[in-house]
Amino acid sequence: MAENEDRKITPTQDVDPGAFAIRAIQNNPTLQDSTKHQYIKALQNYLDTGGSLLDPVALAEYALTVGSSTRAFLAAAVTRLAQELEQLAKGAATPDNIDRIQAAVFRAQALQKAIRTEIRSGQKAHTWLTAKEAQELLDACKRRASGKPEFKIFTMRDRLAVGLMMAAGLRREEAASLRFEDVKKQNERTVLDVEGKGAKDRVVPINDRLAEAILDWKFLVGPEGFVLRSLGRNKEPGESISTTALYDIVQKRGALIGKPDLQPHDLRRTYAELGRRAGVPIEQISILLGHANIKTTQEYLNIELDLEVTISDFVPF
């Protein structure tokens, strides 16, 4: 017992590390709600095992038993806890307790390194789907884990959600906020008006099959409002969908093709990689992904957005 106590950080009196960590994450204005959800979920799963958040050895041992994405979320959450504890300790420093406070700071800093998330040499840090796997993911939207056919409305919604991220390269925040009025025609090509990260607008041309899927869904849920919707127990479409729900859709459908750790951003990477392999210029990929202001990128590279050929043409949907 004494050995376990020696390797723990002593928090401020009456502070519950679990509640403290969760509160710190909830109150952090720089984190997306979906990110907060994943951090707290990873923390809670660890706490449910009876482990202490102030025990770096127990944390390291537990981290080896979970998937890479869960481990990364837990590591990020523990790092934020350690940073908060470090600040708390420094704020309580006095001439009389400086040695104890310095020890607490050192332990907090060590806690941040308890969970190793490095990828071993020879492994890819990210996931990209091949064209065949992309098609399998779309087909997986048609069935449930039991093997039974999926309800049509869930099939339509989930395929469209996957399509917007994988065949249009949208971030999940962008997919969740896309409205029907953002789907337009430009020179015989259907395009999406996307307000991206940092309020950077961009135009994303899509293929006819994805455009038809949006139109079919529009007939089902109505012509106005958000494109993607939540579906209640009675299968009635809600007004919108959360980014967490989109994350869950990708995880659920990814599990059906043997990729339970598939992330929404992996679909965006797949969009870019399939386009690159098909010969789409990297300058176009940069524009379509919204990695910089479109107008600035076009002027700097002296290129125009290509409406004749787009990445979406080469992604199965």
* pLDDT tens by residue, the chain, 317 residues: 344 443 444 444 445 777 877 887 888 777 777 778 888 888 888 888 887 777 777 777 787 787 777 777 887 777 777 777 667 666 766 777 666 656 655 565 666 666 665 444 443 445 788 899 999 999 999 999 999 999 999 999 999 999 999 999 998 999 999 999 999 999 889 999 998 766 678 899 999 999 999 999 999 999 999 999 999 888 899 999 998 899 999 999 999 999 998 999 889 888 887 887 787 787 788 888 877 644 433 332 334 556 677 888 888 88
Name residue 307's amino acid.
L
Per DSSP, the residues of 174-186 read HHHH-BGGGEEEE
Please check whether residues 239 and 211 belong to one and the same domain: yes
Please check whether residues 136 and 169 belong to one and the same domain: yes
Token digits of residue 305: 């957005």
With residue 190 as reference, give the H or E element that holds it.
strand 189-195
8 A C-beta contact, residue 78 and residue 53: yes
Mean pLDDT of the chain: 79
In a domain, 186, yes or no: yes
Please check whether residues 48 and 194 belong to one and the same domain: no
Give me the domain span that covers residue 89.
2-111
CA distance 270 to 169: 8
Boundary of a domain, candidates 47, 81, 111: 111
Cβ neighbours of residue 148 closer than 8 Å, sequence gap 6 or more: none
In a domain, 121, yes or no: no
Tokens 């990695």 correspond to 291
Please check whether residues 144 and 56 belong to one and the same domain: no
Q: Which residues are catalytically annotated?
A: 171, 197, 265, 268, 291, 300
**CATH code assigned at 170:** 1.10.443.10
Boundary of a domain, candidates 111, 141, 165: 111
Please check whether residues 178 and 30 belong to one and the same domain: no
Please check whether residues 164 and 301 belong to one and the same domain: yes
Please check whether residues 194 and 288 belong to one and the same domain: yes
Structural domains counted in the chain: 2
Name residue 208's amino acid.
D
Kindly report, residue by residue over 130-172, the tens digit of the pLDDT.
Answer: 899 999 999 999 999 999 999 999 999 999 999 999 999 998 9
Boundary of a domain, candidates 76, 111, 146: 111
Give the residue ranges of DSSP H helices in the chain: 2-6, 17-26, 33-47, 56-63, 68-91, 98-111, 131-140, 152-166, 172-177, 208-221, 243-255, 264-277, 282-289, 294-301
Please check whether residues 163 and 300 belong to one and the same domain: yes
Residue 314: CB atoms within 10 Å: 19
CA distance 81 to 77: 6
Please check whether residues 201 and 143 belong to one and the same domain: yes
In a domain, 122, yes or no: no
Please check whether residues 103 and 169 belong to one and the same domain: no
Please check whether residues 70 and 146 belong to one and the same domain: no
In a domain, 259, yes or no: yes
CA distance 66 to 42: 10
Please check whether residues 103 and 203 belong to one and the same domain: no
Token digits of residue 258: 């043997």
In a domain, 58, yes or no: yes
In a domain, 203, yes or no: yes
In a domain, 116, yes or no: no
What is the reported pTM? 0.58
In a domain, 191, yes or no: yes
